[in-house]
């Protein structure tokens, strides 16, 4: 729509905490509470150790994440799109909640992949995570690929793996093209996923950071918001929508 700025949002774990999905690196994050849990999503450990895989599948089964629903922040982004504002979301989250809230899937770049699908580490076949979790619930503690017998894993980027260079390239292009870049609920410490914030600022975008804790990009931001995301982001996006 003429006159409407292209708005890019980089969303991190803080956007989904109101949906009951805990963050990982915050003051009460999973990795801080249980450093051993990080092995469950580390590629080297996951592929080498069946016990790690069993624990990982139990964690997925019991996490509650598959049943999580979008919250006010996710809905506000979808409403921004419906208001006719060009919007792109670069998300560090793997929960798929932006799409569940109604945002067009083609406008979401999942930098770290998606936990709503599984894929085989051997043949690459993919399927709904719900199908794999049903097998776990039925008693398969480390369900193998039914096509080749290989190791099943979430379609996420695990620790020790590189991000998809195609997705990263698309994210950089969005960051260069946008007029407004909002980093919300992200520590902006995990590279290269946090990089687009700096790219956007370098190319003249208005940089807004909505996060409870300080980030390395605060001094480059045009505006820093410390208010709760569930109220701050909808208010911010309503102003942009006009």
Write out the catalytic residue numbers.
112
Q: How far is CA 28 from CA 33, 38, 139, 193, in A?
A: 7, 14, 32, 22
Alpha-carbon separation of residue 222 from 206, 209, 230 (angstroms): 6, 8, 21
168 within 8 A of 10, measured Cβ to Cβ: no
Which has the closest alpha carbon to 25: 227, 218, 188? Answer: 188
Give whole-number Cα distances, 215 to 8, 52, 180, in Å. 18, 32, 18
User: How far apart (Å, rounded) are the C-alpha atoms in residues 106 and 233?
Assistant: 22
Contacts of 215 (CB under 8 A, 6+ apart): 183, 186, 187, 188, 189, 209
| 8 A C-beta contact, residue 108 and residue 91 | yes
CA distance 99 to 93: 12
Token pair listed for 57: 């599948």
């Amino acid at each position: 729509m003429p006159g409407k700025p292209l708005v890019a949002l980089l969303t991190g774990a803080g956007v989904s905490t109101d949906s009951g999905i805990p963050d990982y690196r915050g003051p009460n994050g999973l990795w801080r509470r249980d450093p051993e849990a990080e092995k469950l999503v580390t590629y080297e450990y996951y592929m080498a150790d069946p016990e790690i895989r069993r624990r990982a599948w139990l964690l997925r089964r019991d996490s509650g994440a598959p049943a999580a629903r979008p919250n006010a922040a996710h809905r506000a982004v979808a409403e921004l799109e419906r208001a006719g504002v060009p919007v792109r979301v670069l998300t560090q989250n793997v929960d798929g909640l932006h799409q569940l809230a109604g945002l067009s899937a083609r406008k979401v770049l999942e930098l770290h992949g998606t936990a709503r699908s599984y894929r085989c580490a051997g043949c690459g076949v993919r399927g709904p995570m719900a199908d794999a979790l049903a097998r776990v619930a039925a008693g398969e503690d480390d369900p193998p690929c039914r096509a080749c017998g290989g190791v099943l894993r979430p379609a996420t980027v695990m620790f020790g793996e590189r991000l998809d260079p195609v997705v990263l390239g698309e994210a950089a292009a969005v960051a260069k093209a946008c007029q407004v870049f909002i980093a919300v609920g992200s520590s902006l410490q995990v590279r290269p996923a946090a990089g687009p914030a700096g790219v956007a600022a370098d190319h003249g975008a208005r940089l807004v950071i909505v996060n409870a804790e300080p980030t390395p990009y605060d001094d480059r931001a045009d505006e820093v918001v410390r208010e709760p995301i569930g109220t701050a982001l909808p208010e911010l996006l309503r102003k942009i929508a006009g």
